[in-house]
Amino acid sequence: MNIKLLPIITILILSSISLTLNAAPLFEINIQNHLFYPDELVIPADTKVKLVINNKDDSAEEFESYELNREKVIPGHSSGVIFIGPLPAGSYPFFGEFFPKTAQGKIIVK
Amino acid sequence: MLINAVIIVLREVLEASLIMSLFLAYSQHVTVSRLWLLLGIVLGGLFAWAYAAHISTFSNWFDGVGQEVINAGLQLAIYFILLGFITQALIGVSKPIQRITLISLMVLGIVLASIREGTEIVLFITGFSAAPDLLQAVLIGSSIGAGIGMSVGVCIYYLLVTMTFKNSVRLGYVLTLLIAAAMISQVVQQLIQADWIISQYPLWDTSNWINERSLVGQLLYALIGYEATPTPIQVSAYFSAIAMIVFVSFYQLSRHTK
């Protein structure tokens, strides 16, 4: 066991981080009265997209999807950015964790 | 609404509660005062409140991914605190300077964990201030969730303190290692979401065996950073994080037993 391996491990971790600067197509979802508009969003397969979520309610909402591995709090009257994909074709449900009874939707990848 | 509040708060409290139980149990074994815990929770709570109050501003940092970057930063810091804690715990705290180092690490760890987990609870509950008819159910649910989360921590604490010191350090070591690695997995997850780390297809999919939504899935998420569909970078970062702690532990032990 050698401490000299530490920098190598650190470099390995850091080298996996890369700033990907190519512009991703933009999609928007609005939250209003604890509902998503649209509640079905179609995005292209195998493409990274930038999802902007505009929360028009007073209360915060948490965009969450186990299938997409995404979760983010969107404060009331503000917007949040989430990058998703590239994804294989399929249906990926998402929901608002704070108001899951009404805030339901899915992303269709084709 | 009530059940939902229970789950949301439980998820957040569980992680901080696990870290606290490890710190408290070790403090108990080496008779370090446990007042630091209170300091950490109060400070962390205040910071979480302040952060939540200005969350929109922070969210806009780094082209709209400020939240992810701050979360990743907090979790990376918690990882290094756990690394420092576990190596200090292995060597022991016989000298005053070692005790001070340990207490500082624990306070900082609790502050950061409370900010990370507390912010979401604050945002969730304050969102209902405009809906008084729902607020009561949310508060009751949140209290139940917090209670369950803390109970899990209390169980682990008692499990650790009733063991012999040697066994307690062993089990504590393994638990700390897993929680620390879970932090790194979450750091990678946050940075993928922010597009700072490239997104990849998952290495495997175990959602049919243990769903992340299930109780077991949630518990495993807090304890070992369970993810049903991790990407290759996430998996390699997870194991590198474990390897780094093991290397540092062996190095410190060999240095101090010479």
Position A69 in a domain = yes
Position A18 in a domain = no
Position A15 in a domain = no
Q: Which residues of chain B have pLDDT under 50?
A: none
A80: domain range? 23-109
Question: In terms of CATH architecture, what is B2-256?
Answer: Up-down Bundle (1.20)
Q: Which residues of chain B neighbour A28 with C-beta distances below 8 Å?
A: none
Residue in A3, A50, A74 closest to B251 by CB:
A3
Interface predicted TM-score of the whole assembly (ipTM), two decimals = 0.86
Confidence category of residue A97, pLDDT binned at 50, 70, 90: very high
Position A71 in a domain = yes
Position A17 in a domain = no
Both tokens of B227, joined, read 């993810």
B159 vs A5, more confident: B159
Residue B71's pLDDT is: 96
Residue in A1, A17, A77 closest to B196 by CB:
A17
Residue in A1, A73, A98 closest to B67 by CB:
A73
Residue A16's pLDDT is: 53
Residue B223's pLDDT is: 85
Position A49 in a domain = yes
Position A16 in a domain = no
State whether B243 and A9 contact (CB < 8 Å).
yes
State whether A1 and B250 contact (CB < 8 Å).
yes
Q: Of A9-18, A34-43, B54-63, which range is least confident?
A: A9-18
State whether B207 and A83 contact (CB < 8 Å).
no
Confidence category of residue A20, pLDDT binned at 50, 70, 90: very low
- Minimum distance, in Å, between the CA of residue B198 and any CA atom of chain A: 7
Residue A11's pLDDT is: 59
**Maximum alpha-carbon separation in chain B:** 66
Residue in B4, B123, B213 closest to A73 by CB:
B123
- Minimum distance, in Å, between the CA of residue B8 and any CA atom of chain A: 8
Residue B219's pLDDT is: 83
pTM of the entire structure? 0.90
**The domain spanning residue A103 has which CATH number?**
2.60.40.420
Picking from B68, B252, B72, B246, the residue whose alpha carbon sits closest to that of residue A9 is B246
Number of domains comprising chain A: 1
- Minimum distance, in Å, between the CA of residue A26 and any CA atom of chain B: 13
Q: Where are the domains of chain B?
A: 2-256
